[in-house]
């Protein structure tokens, strides 16, 4: 089986390295070719268009930035659907819209292919360690076919229903993360103002009911002033916008999520859109008021 992988950013490159560990043959495409150089050295084969990659692959994974990028990769000139896809399986790992996921699946069916929407959670560390959570929408038979590949880079994976349900599940995930990230930020702001030892606070809270993934993974990064992106601010804003758009379609209100989007949008406007989501603390801590260190 030959796997095609479109999108070799922070997450994609780590996923591909885990595929290599399971001895899969991998074909790669990325808009910026240089970002595939290491992967080619490790054994991947470069193709210069999504169409050519698709023609040379059996299962094609896509992991790009925004829904418009997904649309372009699948439907654009030299895109996936410009190739003969009959009998192939298409898996979109991008966090995108449920509507687009349904469209991709319908097109795949018309062309004799199969498709899954399978957005992931777990950040750069999850991708590197092969412990991602994978939320899948699509047909059961297709899911079972791809499941052994998911096992190469995921720890938790589940089919949540037909096309689009994987994306809806990812929106639920992002809504939860919005709450933990704003909670983490305000906790640190409060603890700093109260003149507490921040590493001790994180350690203590990590042992109780306040413990959560964001605090345990991003808290230490904040204290080290490490704002490199495991997940970009600009991508989180995109996700929160999708969640709020879907909430409107469902006739529900998500005020806390709306506030999180406002805060992250302000952070991006301040020039930090390419930082990691932990950079939210910068709205409170400027260069003159850095966190205390032991």
Q: Phi and psi for 59 in degrees, rounded to 5?
A: -120, 125
β-bridge pairing 114-117 and 89-92: parallel
**170 is annotated as an active-site residue:** yes
User: What secondary structure does DSSP assign to 117-157, as a single string?
Assistant: E--EESHHHHHHHT-EEEEEBS-HHHHHHHHHHHHHHEEEE
Catalytic residue among 170, 238, 261, 282: 170
- Structural tokens at position 84: 């003969």
β-bridge pairing 120-121 and 132-136: antiparallel
Give, in degrees to the nearest 5, the angle at Cα 161 between 159 and 166: 65
CA atoms of 31 and 79, how far apart (whole Å): 12
Contacts 24+ apart (CB under 8 A), 107-113: 107/74, 107/75, 107/81, 111/81, 111/85, 111/86, 112/85, 112/86, 112/87, 113/85, 113/86, 113/87, 113/88, 113/89
Cβ–Cβ under 8 Å, residues 151 and 130: no
Residues with a catalytic annotation lie at: 170
């Amino acid at each position: 089986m030959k796997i095609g992988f479109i999108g070799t950013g922070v997450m994609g490159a780590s996923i591909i390295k885990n595929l290599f560990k399971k001895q899969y043959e991998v074909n790669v495409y990325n808009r910026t070719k240089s970002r595939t150089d290491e992967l080619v050295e490790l054994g991947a084969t470069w193709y210069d268009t999504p169409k050519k990659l698709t023609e040379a692959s059996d299962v094609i994974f896509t992991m790009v930035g925004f829904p418009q990028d997904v649309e372009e990769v699948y439907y654009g000139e030299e895109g996936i659907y410009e190739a003969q896809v009959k009998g192939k399986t298409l898996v979109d790992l991008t966090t995108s819209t449920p509507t687009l996921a349904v469209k991709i699946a319908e097109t795949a069916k018309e062309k004799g292919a199969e498709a899954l929407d399978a957005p992931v959670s777990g950040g750069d560390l999850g991708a590197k360690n092969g412990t991602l959570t994978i939320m899948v929408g699509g047909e059961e038979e297709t899911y079972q076919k791809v499941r052994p590949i998911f096992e190469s880079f995921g720890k938790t994976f589940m089919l949540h229903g037909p096309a689009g349900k994987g994306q809806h599940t990812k929106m639920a995930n992002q809504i939860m993360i919005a709450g933990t990230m704003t909670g983490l930020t305000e906790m640190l702001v409060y603890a700093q103002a109260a003149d507490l030892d921040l590493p001790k606070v994180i350690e203590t809270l990590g042992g109780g009911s306040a413990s959560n993934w964001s605090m345990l993974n991003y808290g230490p990064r904040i204290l080290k002033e490490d704002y490199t992106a495991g997940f970009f601010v600009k991508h989180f804003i995109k996700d929160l916008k999708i969640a709020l758009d879907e909430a409107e379609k469902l006739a529900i209100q998500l005020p806390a999520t709306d506030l999180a989007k406002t805060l992250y949008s302000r952070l991006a406007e301040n020039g930090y859109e390419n930082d990691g989501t932990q950079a939210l603390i910068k709205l409170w801590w400027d260069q003159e008021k850095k966190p205390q260190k032991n």
